[in-house]
Chains A and B, each alone.
Chain A
Amino acid sequence: MGKSRFLLCGWLLSVSLAQAAIDPALLKPLASEDSDTKIAAITALAQAAPAEALPVLKALADDSLAVAGERVVIVAGERVLDAANNTEISPAPAAREVIGINNRVRRELSAALAALRLFSTERAVRWQAAQEVTLSADAKMLPLLDRALAAEKDPEIRTRLQLAHAQASLGSTDAEVRLAAVKTLGESSDPKVRQLLLPLNEKRGDSWVEPDSAVRAAAGTSLRSIEQRLAWADSLGRAFTGLSLGSILLLAALGLAITYGVMGVINMAHGELLMVGAYSAWAMQSVFRAYLPGALDWYLLAAIPVGFLAAALVGVLMERLIIRHLYGRPLETLLATWGISLFLMQVARTVFGAQNVEVANPAWMAGGIELLPNLMLPWNRIIIVAFSIAVLVAMWAILNLSRLGMFVRAVTQNRPMAGCVGVPTGRIDTLAFGLGAGIAGLGGVALSQIANVGPDMGQGYIVDSFMVVVLGGVGQLAGAVWAALGLGVFTKFLEGWTGAVVAKIVVLVFIIIFIQKRPQGLFALKGRFVES
């Protein structure tokens, strides 16, 4: 092992050193015209000298292995190395012919390469190789896997290798070996292993694919336990994407929960306030790109206050100029704010162009946490869930703990009385609307990370946002939260059954029916004054 490690290092550094040679007889068949011969040669080579074979096979995979006369050579740029001993040949032989490989050979080759990388000194390389090899292991690789297992100390990689070993054993002629393998495979939770076990219980023509009945039974048991784990992970994944969709709906609807829910102003331009927030994120990205390229990854943090303020400003202008004059006339407000929404859309189209603009995730939002082999939680979704919780908490605090919140509640409950005790009702309306709009802006900043940013983006959210608020019950923050999360999870689970579009239709129809049953939403207020 020590020696091979040394050699691998050498190869990795592309340093040509004197080393143990490969029997040229083993190399020769690589140049054969016949694919089967080539494959046999690859296997033989990997078995015989795992360490030394690596550079040769790598070269074969890169189309840089060639035949020069009798010798097999590796072409490395200007230099030509002898494949047998990895020493430079100079002068380089002029007449050489690159060894071509077809796809079948390439497949075998990459499996063999992966198997060879199992002996790498770097854990990450070995881990990757173990994963690759699991999916393509066959009986021919068994001795190699045996050796790798003997050398491997890392428990995680060992588990992987054992799985690969079991998989390779499936091709064994010995029923006992197959039985043991099938049992080991049952501990996996990889959907690909399931594909592997499935055919064992199938019939091909009149005979079973797997002749031994004990193995078939064991395969059935293993399959069931894998499927259980898969289903579990699948549900968990759906629950998470549902949660993530719910948090997006919540961000889109929270602003509405203030403007419509608390103030009773029906704002059809809410989607365009989201759009303002999203364009703010894009603008900050452009500003950072131009003036602070070093800190580009942090543009999003700057976008949060900018998005809030931009949308709040638009909201305040809307309230002061138009909505103010329409209090108590909800249907007119609906139409006027729809007009505002058309106006804002066209402004965006004129200023930023009709095409979607590109807003990139910062590097720290890329990737994710892999909980299970088939369950990956992307960072951007996790961050958005966390962000929506933060916005929710902040909003709750403003409404319930701050003086502004107290005034807002006072004005919405009894406007004339609030006015009498000195609450500046007009200014409170403006501020509350600005707050709702600002929160929509925050939602827009978050949306810019996962959705297209364009002039029409707001239109896509307006129906959903209203559904959340209506379902939750007007004036109810808690209602909006439960409605958003419930709708998100419900939609995602439904999507698994029916596909996205039908799921959406079903959800809308469900809400329409639900509202008939409970016109006041999930969290209804009761009392003599409710109706009036």
Chain B
Amino acid sequence: MNIVIPIKQVPETSNVKMDEETGTMKREGVESIINPLDLYAIETGIQLKEEYGGKITVITMGPPSADKALKEAIAMGCDDGILLSGREFAGSDTWATSYALSEAIREIGDFDLILAGERATDGDTGQVGPGIASWLDLTLSTYTSKVVDLNLVEDEEVNYTNVEQDSIIVERMVEDGYEKLELPLPALLTVVKEISFPRLPTLRGKQRSRKVEIPQWNLGNLDLNQEYLGLQGSPTRVVNIDHPKVTRGGTIIDVREDGKVEEAVSKLIDYLKAKELV
């Protein structure tokens, strides 16, 4: 059971400062972390590995410093890391990113399952996972909340179906409940938080991750169509960044101004009555 997990490094957003002129996030001095939902993909992968064996390769596209995210994943229990890094990838949108990642995964070759976080906290599109599935022509389950079972052909005890192919049975969240799917392997799952609870990296894991060499892949060692890469290869265009207008103004009845609580309360009651709310 070999698993590939594409992950993304995102800015840590609990204390974000915005540039008021451009409306974009100030990135200087902001720490980079593994996209929180990707941690759930990593945990799911490790649990599957613990049960069925095999190995896990994490892959990311980003600047050279993104190897830190790969090392963190390895410290949690993944085996190998691959870093897609080079100027040719800069400015890639979800289409170009999923193309580059899918080609790298094709190069890795021997895999049964791809696990990805449902979306990244910075882009918030949820498109890269399904994009990879599409480029590689894999079966796909988005919003996966549970791995029910693996149905391996050589494993006779667990054979639910007559499908002569390895498959995975999962539950995914849909608007009014859950949907159970059986997907022939290799497949791609994008996962939501319900699927697992990420473990913390251990000291031994950290020590191991420090020793793991992370190869850097780019145009030099991957057979990629350059026209599909980077800003020029990205069909997405940011035409304008707009801020939603606040259309509802609040009314504040300030006790400190009115002096008496009773008066403020009666003002509030009058207001609610006028709006026919009481």
Are A and B co-members of a single complex?
no
Binding site for B on A (CB under 8 A): none
A-binding residues in B (CB < 8 A): none
